[in-house]
Structure 1
Amino acid sequence: MTTASKVLYASEPTLGIAEFRRVLVESGLGETRPVDDGARLKKMLSGANLVLTARLDVEGKPLLGVARGLTDFAWVCYISELAVSQSAQGLGIGKGLMDEARRQLGPSVAISLISMPDAIGFYERIGMKRMPDAFWFGRKG
């Protein structure tokens, strides 16, 4: 990323599966997501009602990161993925995506997520509060 380049944050409900898959793999989340199952990735995208992207403002507008979530736009939003390509990590892209989510959702909507262990420090640095009372039924497959 050049210093003259600008990052564009936007809602992108029609994000393509190939770009979504690429960012998941490049971010490291490919190890925990079904990146080799295109039909499942398609369902993941079509089932989300909040898909935010970070793109470099240059020709071709390459995708740097994505935030995918489910929300009622009134009370709560669950962010199911926050993925930033490794080459763009540390440049504020993840924080920018979360800031865009907060901007689009407004101050009356809470945002929750389940962090990967190595990302806990990031979420704490951007001001998210760790919640001890989360519960989980694991998936099979």
Structure 2
Amino acid sequence: MKDIIYKINTGIEMDTIIKLLYDSDYLPLIDMTDRKRLHKMFENADIIVSAWDENKLVGIARSLCDFSYCCYLSDICVHKSYRNHAIGKKLIEITKETAGKECKLILHSNSDAAGFYQKIGMQNIAEAFILQREY
């Protein structure tokens, strides 16, 4: 595998992001044709870390952050063909570094990914609550 290049808060075309979401089997919205909502998700993020194999987007992490107390890592995905190469771990490391030492990094995992987060040293907490969105 070639060297993966990581970028922080670089403008990425929506079509490129949508392609990665499908190529990673990560579909955060029921209606993936809602480009306006997808655009708002990325436009309003504070930290977007992307992973590139030359000019191909192979991973992305999207976070909301106050840069002083907490950073919510809302979305992270890696292209299926690029998994098991520590790209997800690196996306998280760069996100944490960008957020700063004062920030705790928080994420809500689906059950399929929980093992990955535990493997890279993230602590599973039970003190989380949610008011679910109306998709």
- Shared fold, TM over 0.5: yes
- Aligned pair partner of 1:136 in 106, 130, 133: 130
Q: Which runs of 4+ in 1 moved over 6 A?
A: none
Residue 116 of structure 1 pairs with residue 87 of structure 2: no
How far apart, in 1, do the equivalents of 2:73 and 2:32 lie? 18
Aligned to 2:96: 102
How far apart, in 1, do the equivalents of 2:21 and 2:107 lie? 16
Aligned to 1:84: 78
Aligned to 1:39: 36
Unaligned 5+ segments in structure 2 are none
- SS of the equivalent of 1:19 reads helix
Residue 50 of structure 1 pairs with residue 67 of structure 2: no
CA contact (8 A) 1:13 1:49 kept: no
- SS of the equivalent of 2:91 reads helix
- SS of the equivalent of 1:18 reads helix
Aligned to 1:9: 6
How far apart, in 1, do the equivalents of 2:25 and 2:109 lie? 13
Bigger fraction of residues in helix: 1
> Residue 13 of structure 1: CA displacement?
4.3
Percent identical pairs in the alignment equals 30
- Aligned pair partner of 1:126 in 116, 120, 128: 120
Across the two proteins, how many residue pairs are aligned to each other? 134
